[in-house]
Chains A and B, each alone.
Chain A
Amino acid sequence: MSLVRPAGEHGLLVETGSLAASHRLDALLRAERPAEVEEIVPGPETVLVVARGGGQSRLRARLAELADLASAGGDSPALSEKVVTIPVVYDGADLPSVAAETGLTVPEVIARHTGTELVAGWLGFAPGFAYLTGLDPVLHVPRLTTPRTSVPAGSVAIAGPYAAVYPTASPGGWRLLGRTSLRVWDVHADPPSLLPPGTRVRFEAT
C-alpha cells in the first residue's frame, strides 16, 4: 500500500520509493489527468500532486491505487519511446581534472559519457535543468568546491551520480565536460523542455 502524505490544503505527496515508480506514476497520472490537477511533480522517491477544488479524498484514493500499480511495475509505460540525442563538443574546462580523478584518459571519459543511455529523472535548480540519471559510476565525481559564478547555457556537465545540460546561463558547481548546440530549454517552445521527467537521453561526440 503506497503512502500518500497530505501537503497542505491542495498537495498530496505520494511515496513511490523509487525513481522508476515515480516515472510510472507520472505517466499514469498524465494519461488520466484529472481536471482539478494543477501540478504533477515527480522526484526520486515521490510524486507531488497539487489539485485545487474539491474531491481531495477521491483523488487521494485514486492516487493510492495508481501508486500501487506504479510500484508493482509491470508493463505500464514509464520512459519516453524516443531517445533525445545530445550532440556534444567535448572541450570542457574540467575534462582534464575529471580524467585525472577517475584514472581515465580524456577519450575514455568521453567514451564513458557517451556509452550509456541516461534518463531525465526530475527537474530542479533552474527551469529546464534536468537531473540525468544512469551516468556510468566511474564518472561519479564531486562538484567543484567553489562554484563558478557563471556557466554558459548549453554546458554539458556532471556531478555526483548525475549528468546535466545547463538550460540557461547560471552560477554552477558542476564539472564541465563540453557544450551542446541543442537547445534543451526554450520558453517560446511548447513544451519548453526537451527533457521532461522520463525522457531517454544519449550524448554523442561531434
Chain B
Amino acid sequence: MIEVLAPGPYATVQDLGRPGYAHLGVPRSGAADAAGLRLANRLVGNPEGSAGLELTFGGARLRFLSGAWIAVTGAACPLTVVSGTGAHGMAVPFWLPPGAELRVGAPAAGLRTYVAVRGGIDVEPVLGSRSTDSLSGLGPEPLRAGTRLPVGATGALAPIRADHASAGALPPPVLRVLAGPRDDWFAPGALAGLCARPYEVTQDSNRVGVRLRGTALEWARRGELPSEGVVTGAIQVPPSGQPIVFLADHPPTGGYPVIGVVLDADLPVAAQARPGDALTFRLVRR
C-alpha cells in the first residue's frame, strides 16, 4: 500500500490506456510519455503496461507502507528517501523499506515524471485500464493527500535484471510530422509555416493536448469539417490557426482539420514540454 502524503501540482495513476473503445467515445488515455512509463516498469521487472504514477512538475511525497522496489523515470527530479537510504538517482531500481517516505522534488527540465512500483498500482480497472482519463473522468480520481493505492502481487514477476538505465540527455525539442490527413484543408504554405519557426507551449496545455502559440495556420476552406476520428499526435488546427498536439486524453473524434501527425517516437518530447518551452516541427516523408 502507498499513501499519498502530497500529490504535487497534478498526479494520476496511468498505464497504457484503454484502446478499442474510440468508436464509443472513449479516449485512449494512458501515460502521456508512454516510453517513460514503459522504462520505469521494465526497471522493476513489471510488464511494460503495469500501472504507475504520472507526476506533473514533481513535488510529490509518498509513503510506502510495505517495502517496495521502485524506479523513477521521465522528467528528472531530486529524489530523497526520508529516514531511509538518502538520495537516489533517476532510472534505477531501488528498495524502499516499509514505512519509508519518498520525496520527489521539482524537475529542472521536462514536465512529467513516472514512478513505477514492483507489482504495479492495483486500483480497480475501468474498461480494461487503470488510467485516469482527465477528459472523460473514467478511471481513478487524480491523487490527493490521503489517497491510498494498493500495490499488486510481485510473486510471479521476473527478477529485476537491470541495475541502471541511462537517463540520457534530453532529446532536442523537435517534433517530426507526417502531413495529413487534412493538409489540403489549409492555405498553400501552411505546412511550411508550421515548420518555419518554433512554437511556444502555452499555460493551458494538459493531458488532452499541447496548445501552442506561434505562426497562425490559415484554412483555405470555410465551413465545417464533419466530425471524424483523430489519432494521438494529431496536430489539430482550430479557426484561430494556433495548433494543438493531441496527447493521451484527446477526444476520439474532432471537428477541426488535422494538418499533420507527430511521429510516435516524438510523442514523449511533446508530453515533456512545459509551458514556455519552444517546440519546432519538422516535416518528414513517409
A and B assemble together: yes
Binding site for B on A (CB under 8 A): 5-11, 13, 26, 38-48, 50, 122-130, 168, 187, 191-193, 196-197
In the complex, A48→B127 CA distance in Å?
Answer: 21
A5 to chain B, nearest CB (A): 4
In the complex, A66→B233 CA distance in Å?
Answer: 27
Would you call A50 and B286 a contact (CB within 8 A)? no
Given contacts A43-B253, A124-B227, are A50 and B25 in contact (CB under 8 A)?
A: no
Smallest CB-CB A-B distances: 6 pairs? A48-B229, A8-B261, A41-B229, A5-B181, A123-B25, A44-B226
| Selected contact of A39 from candidates B22, B180, B181, CB within 8 Å | B22
B252 to chain A, nearest CB (A): 6
Say whether chain B's binding surface is mostly helix, strand, loop, or mixed: loop
Q: Which residue of B lies closest to A45 (CB)?
A: B226
Would you call A43 and B228 a contact (CB within 8 A)? yes
Q: Is residue B70 contacting chain A, with contact meaning CB distance below 8 A?
A: no
Q: Which residue of B lies closest to A121 (CB)?
A: B227
Q: Which residues on A sit within 8 Å (CB–CB) of B22? A: 39, 41, 48, 50
| Selected contact of A187 from candidates B23, B126, B251, B262, CB within 8 Å | B126
Please name 23 pairs of A and B residues whose Cβ atoms are closer than 8 Å in the assembled complex, sorted by A. A7-B181, A7-B229, A7-B231, A7-B258, A9-B178, A9-B261, A10-B231, A11-B181, A11-B231, A26-B23, A39-B19, A41-B23, A41-B252, A43-B227, A43-B228, A43-B229, A44-B228, A45-B228, A48-B229, A124-B25, A124-B253, A192-B21, A193-B24
Q: Which residues on A sit within 8 Å (CB–CB) of B136? A: 126-127
A74 to chain B, nearest CB (A): 23
| Residue from B21, B137, B138, B264 whose CB has the most chain A CB atoms within 10 Å | B21
Give chain B interface residues in 257-271, CB to chain A under 8 Å: 258, 261-264
19 extra A-B contacts, CB within 8 A, seeds A11-B261, A48-B231, A124-B227: A6-B286, A7-B181, A7-B231, A11-B229, A13-B181, A13-B229, A38-B19, A39-B20, A39-B229, A42-B23, A44-B228, A46-B228, A46-B229, A48-B228, A48-B230, A123-B23, A123-B24, A127-B138, A192-B21
Task: Give 1 or 0 for each of B181-198: 1 = CB within 8 Å of chain A CB.
Answer: 110000000000000000
